Structure formats: structure tokens, C-alpha cells
Amino acid sequence: MQWKLDNNAPLYLQIADKVKLGIVSGEYAPGKRIDSVRDLAEQTGVNPNTMQRALSRLEDEGLLSTNRTNGKYVTEDTELINQIKDELAKKYVENFLASMKQMGFSGNIILALVQHEVGKGENANVYTGM
Amino acid sequence: MFILECSNITKNYGACKALDSVNLQLEKGKIVGLLGPNGSGKTTLLKLANGLLSPTSGSISIAGGSPGVHSKKIVAYLPERTYLNEWMKVKDIVAFFADFYANFSREKAIDMLQALGLPQNAKLSSLSKGNKEKVQLILVMAREAELYLLDEPIGGVDPAARDYIINTIIRNYSASATILLSTHLIQDVERIFDSVVFLNKGKIALQGPVDDIREEKGCSIDELFREVFKC
């Protein structure tokens, strides 16, 4: 996992977001044990208290659980993971739309632009000439 | 009980007020940044906590007692300048510290010396200024203390060693120990702080948990420092 953090915003929130992304993307598989707080703190270069705070946040959301003796595990509740994945996707789309609208693009143009870009990635031939 | 508590501390050097009615309480298990421009009172505060100076008024306590013989057992102090004997070899200084402090881990010290490529058979006088500083910091961090008071621990060392030192601090961190660290190189270390204390002209200008400050001000601690202390 890449730990590029921005000192201008709370670190624990950024770390929580990154771990969450790791869980919904499958990098941290359901039921998998994650590294200890100390190891993760060292990998990230943050204080263990900050790492603990980030992980506690994900525990509150149900994405992680603590096994008293063995550390923290990713939830096996794939329904919850999918639900959070949907929420994240929605949030990204909303942010994207807000920026596009700020630039003055209307819904139809935005859709066309997105379709064009998606097409370029998946099947360039179909959309050439657009 | 607080590991370090300053109650209304004032310290005058003649007509100069180095610290002015400072109140500060540090909990166990925290890494705290002591930040402020030159001459703001950082070193004075650390010296008071070590019993090297006495306050003009007010009181200071370490784990409930006043600084003295008892507190020296539980406090590991890195002063602003070196006090080690130049003619001693690195390994002799390690042995000296192992004799001196019951909570000194020789193994940890040797591990760190090796990781930073410092020759144990070399005389201190043959080492560069930066390498001497590394040796001195290793001697402090190799103690299993309850309170580490570090006066500019990374000022004179190169960026790679700086990263190693910061990682060493994280690795050696324990929930029962507190680190109070003064520095000018805020950008390099602000990620390891739980909270910071800004000193300005002997007074506390601002203090709080770093992530709360980032959230509230929308900027890094480094940026906030530059703003607060703009010349």
C-alpha cells in the first residue's frame, strides 16, 4: 500500500480512507489479518496513537474487528464491504460532478465526455472519430 | 498523574524573562513537539525539567516529584550540546552508560550504532559533528526511560539519518513513555507528534493535538508555525 499523506489535513482521516480503499478494492481481503498498529505506524511514519485512531474509526464502521490476542482482522461481511464501496463510489462521482459543474459543464456534456474517456480505455476502436 | 507538570513557571535571567507563567501538563504515552523560534524558551524549559536550572517562581514536577536524583532515573535527556569525553571510544562510552543507568539497553545501542554505520572502535574526537550527535542520541534512546527530553535531536544530522532516527522513535515508542522534543525542522517530524506546544517569548502561544489543529486551521503544523511566527 502507498502511504502518501498530506500534512495539511488530519493524518488519521487520510490513513482511515486509505485502509478503507484497500478493503473495498480487495487488497485487504475479507477475513485477512492486518499488520499490527506498530508495524503500520512504522511503514507510514506516523505516531502509533495516530494509527490506532485511524483503525478505531474503521472498527466503528464495522470494517475491522479486534481479536483480543491476535490483532485486527478485515470483516468477512462482504455485504457491508460492498455497501461501503457503493458509498465511496457515490462520493467520488459527486465530487467529480461538483468540479465539472463549477467549470460550467452541463449534464449531457459531462456524460458524453465520460463516455468518450471510458471508451478510450476499454475499446478504443469503437469510439475513434468521436 | 502527569509525567511532567509545570505550574506557573517563570524563569528570569537577570532582566530577561525566559519563561513567563508557563503551565504545561504532559500525559504518559505521548509524543509532543516543543516548537518556537530562537530564544522562545524551549531549552530553558527542558533544563528546568532536568533540574539543571531552578525556576524563579512556580513549580515543576516529574512523575509527581521534583526534578532531582529520583527523576534522573526515569528521564533520558539529550542536551543541546555534547558533553561526552572526546578521548573516549564509542564502545567505551556505551559501557560507561550501561554502568551508569540501570535502564540502559546495550543491545539497543549497538543495534542503532550498526544501523547508522558508526564505528565502535573510533574515538569520539575522530567523528564528524553529525556523527557525534548521532552517537549522543543513540545513548539517550537506548535507555528505557519514562520521559525523553530531546533538545533539537535531528538538527545536525543528514536527511537519511533523520528518517532513521524518526523511525527509531516510532519503533521504541511505548505507551508508558512520553517524548518531549524541541525542533526547528517541523516538516520532517510533525507526523510523529500527538500534540504540539508553541512557545513564543517565554509564553505558550498555542497547544493541542496535531490532527485537531490540522482540521481546524486547514494547514500543516509547519505552515501554521510560519504564519504564527512570521518575521
* pLDDT number for residue A125: 52
**Considering only CB atoms, which residues of chain B are within 8 Å of chain A?**
29-31, 163, 166-167, 170-171, 173, 187, 190-194, 210-212, 214-215, 218-223
Q: Please, which residues have CB within 8 angstroms of residue B212's CB and are 6 or more apart in sequence?
A: A10
Stretches where chain B sits below pLDDT 70 are none
Do residue B194 and residue A41 have CB atoms under 8 angstroms apart? no
The alpha carbon of residue B93 and the mean position of all alpha carbons in its chain are separated, in whole angstroms, by 20
Best of B170, B173, B193, B195 to disrupt the A interface by mutation (most A CBs within 10 Å)?
A: B170
Helix A11-24 vs helix B210-217: crossing angle, to nearest 10: 90
DSSP letters spanning A59-82? HHTTSEEEETTTEEEE-S-HHHHH
* pLDDT number for residue A8: 93
Question: Which residue type sits at B61?
Answer: S
pLDDT band with cut points at 50, 70 and 90 for residue A84: very high
Do residue B214 and residue A11 have CB atoms under 8 angstroms apart? yes
> Which of B31, B173, B220 shows the shortest C-beta gap to A7?
B220
The alpha carbon of residue B129 and the mean position of all alpha carbons in its chain are separated, in whole angstroms, by 19
- Is A126's pLDDT higher than 70? no
* pLDDT number for residue A1: 62
Burial class of residue B185 in the structure, from the number of CB atoms within 10 Å of its CB (0-12 exposed, 13-18 middle, 19+ buried): middle
- The candidate with the shortest Cα–Cα distance to B112, out of B176, B185, B161, is B161
Do residue B170 and residue A10 have CB atoms under 8 angstroms apart? no
In a 13 Å sphere around the CA of A72, the CA atoms on its Cβ side amount to 24
* pLDDT number for residue A128: 47
- Is A75's pLDDT higher than 70? yes
pLDDT tens, A15-63? 999 999 999 999 999 999 999 998 999 899 999 999 999 999 999 999 9
> Which of B29, B171, B220 shows the shortest C-beta gap to A42?
B171
CA B123 to chain A, closest CA, distance in angstroms equals: 32
Average pLDDT over residues A54-74: 90
The sign of the CA dihedral B120, B124, B127, B130 is positive
Q: Give yes or no for a contact between A63 and A74, defined as CB atoms under 8 angstroms apart.
A: yes
* pLDDT number for residue B96: 95
Do residue B173 and residue A46 have CB atoms under 8 angstroms apart? no
Do residue B191 and residue A47 have CB atoms under 8 angstroms apart? yes
**Rounded Cα–Cα distance for residues B137 and B221 (Å):** 24
> Which of B171, B193, B211 shows the shortest C-beta gap to A12?
B211
Planar angle of CA A110, A113, A115, nearest 5 degrees? 110
* pLDDT number for residue A93: 94
**Rounded Cα–Cα distance for residues B73 and B146 (Å):** 9
CA distances from B199 to A44, A55, B205 (A): 28, 32, 6
* pLDDT number for residue A14: 95
Name chain B contacts of A47, Cβ cutoff 8 Å: 31, 170, 173, 191-194
Name chain A contacts of B179, Cβ cutoff 8 Å: none
* pLDDT number for residue B130: 87
Best of A5, A12, A49 to disrupt the B interface by mutation (most B CBs within 10 Å)?
A: A49
Chain B CA closest to residue A13: B211
Q: Give yes or no for a contact between B103 and B141, defined as CB atoms under 8 angstroms apart.
A: no
pLDDT tens, A86-122? 999 999 999 999 999 999 999 899 999 999 999 886 6
Q: Give yes or no for a contact between A35 and A74, defined as CB atoms under 8 angstroms apart.
A: no
* pLDDT number for residue B1: 85
Question: Which residue type sits at B128?
Answer: S
**Rounded Cα–Cα distance for residues A40 and A47 (Å):** 10
CA A43 to chain B, closest CA, distance in angstroms equals: 9
Do residue A11 and residue B173 have CB atoms under 8 angstroms apart? no
Question: Which helix (H) or strand (E) is A52 found in, with range?
Answer: helix A48-60
A5 touches chain B (CB under 8 A): yes
> Which of A42, A48, A50 shows the shortest C-beta gap to B211?
A50
C-alpha cell at A116: 468518450
> Which of A13, A46, A53 shows the shortest C-beta gap to B191?
A46
* pLDDT number for residue A130: 43
CA distances from A64 to A28, A89, B201, B210 (A): 11, 20, 46, 25
* pLDDT number for residue B224: 94
A38 touches chain B (CB under 8 A): yes
